[in-house]
Amino acid sequence: MDWLDHLTHWWRHLAAGFSLLAALLAAAHALLHKRDVRAATLWLGIIWLLPALGPALYLVLGVNRIRRRAIQLGVHATGKGVVPGNFGEPEAEGARHLQMLARVVDRVVGQPLIPGNQIEPLVNGG
């Protein structure tokens, strides 16, 4: 074996190690960040069945950078901001324990709770 064959041999091992490391990192990211089980399973299949290409595809197509940036900026998918810190203070000082509920409702519904809302109960549906 001459020096060129020896160098090619080590490059193959280095490329295989890099491919394995990229697949491990991409698979771990997919498992931790994909909420839908089907999407995570599909990405894991792509990552492991397409060596070197699978992790690259996941990096380009699988990571939701827009959602991550919106979370960093504190904006929800609806474009609304987070619940203001002074929510419920003008009407009732005892409403501080409801701030966590307001944040949960804002995240689930996408519409912030604001003071002054009213409901009209309907008797017998009418």
19-35: average pLDDT = 91
**CB atoms inside a 10 Å sphere around CB 39:** 13
pTM (two decimals): 0.51
Tens digits of residue pLDDT in 6-17: 767 788 888 889
* Token pair in block for residue 103: 């944040």
Q: Are 77 and 109 in contact (CB under 8 A)?
A: no
Q: Are 27 and 42 in contact (CB under 8 A)?
A: no
Phi, psi of 2 (to 5 degrees): -85, 175
pLDDT top residue among 76 and 2: 2
